[in-house]
């Protein structure tokens, strides 16, 4: 009888180890399976941190994307901001379709404010975040409000952006922040500091005042 009980305990222990290993594998695969697909990944909240893997930016994205990236609702405080552009391949001429763009920013007070339902890395990026997928002509649009600089005034107002190329060609990567030419913090010193390390261009957007807010344009040339 004791022998049978011993064998049963061994089997149950082995099953527990297998279940644990499978759970860990699923968590790892959830971040590796992103490459260019457009499906949300179900995973534990392992992306809750400011310095998590860049792939975490895509864990919570919707199952279906358009070429328009919306951040905030119609009643979001601040000046409405519209940015259009084209995602281009490394030759600087060919439109790049199917590229996923993730962006996040501060609100009109310079804070990454939350609504309370954020999970993963969005707990740190705040409620003003979103995703878009470039259309056949490589076009994208960002609908948001104009961000403010941090209260410390150490950096220009900016929008962070991450690229995921289709087909898992390479891991996702940050491009140079969107900043605004009329921002007094976009100084010659700042411009010089980013030119040598820029990805996707310098990111300096010239804005025009419209009847409804601000409008600008930025074409983005991606990596070779």
pLDDT digits (tens, 9 = 90+) for 112-126: 999 988 889 999 999
Residue 81 pLDDT exceeds 80: yes
Structure confidence at residue 218 (pLDDT)? 98
* Residue 44: inside a domain: no
Indicate if 103 and 208 belong to the same structural domain: yes
Section 5-24 average pLDDT: 41
Residue 25 pLDDT exceeds 70: no
Residue 147 pLDDT exceeds 60: yes
Structure confidence at residue 76 (pLDDT)? 96
* Residue 6: inside a domain: yes
Indicate if 114 and 64 belong to the same structural domain: yes
Section 42-50 average pLDDT: 70
Structure confidence at residue 28 (pLDDT)? 36
Contact 203, 191 (CB under 8 A): no
Domain that holds residue 131: 54-221
Which has the closest alpha carbon to 167: 220, 96, 62?
96
How many folded domains does the chain comprise? 2
Give the residue with greater pLDDT, 20 vs 190: 190
């Amino acid at each position: 009888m004791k022998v049978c009980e011993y064998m049963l305990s061994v089997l149950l222990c082995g099953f527990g180890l297998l279940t644990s290993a499978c759970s860990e594998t699923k968590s790892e695969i959830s971040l590796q399976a992103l490459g260019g697909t457009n499906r949300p990944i179900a995973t534990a909240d392992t992306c809750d941190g400011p310095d998590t893997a860049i792939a975490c930016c895509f864990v919570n994205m919707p199952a279906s994307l358009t070429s328009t990236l919306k951040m905030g609702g119609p009643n979001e405080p601040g000046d409405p901001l519209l940015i259009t552009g084209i995602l281009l391949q490394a030759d600087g001429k060919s439109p790049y379709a199917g590229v996923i763009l993730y962006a996040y920013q501060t609100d009109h007070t310079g804070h990454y404010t939350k609504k309370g339902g954020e999970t993963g890395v969005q707990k740190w990026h705040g409620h003003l975040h979103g995703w878009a997928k470039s259309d056949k002509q490589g076009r994208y649009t960002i609908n948001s409000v104009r961000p403010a600089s941090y209260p410390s005034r150490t950096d220009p107002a900016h929008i962070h952006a991450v690229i995921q190329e289709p087909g898992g060609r390479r891991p996702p990567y940050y491009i140079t922040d969107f900043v605004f030419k009329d921002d007094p913090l976009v100084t010659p010193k700042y411009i010089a500091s980013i030119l040598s390390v820029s990805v996707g261009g310098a990111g300096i957007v010239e804005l025009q005042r419209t009847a409804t807010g601000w409008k600008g344009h930025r074409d983005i040339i991606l990596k070779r």
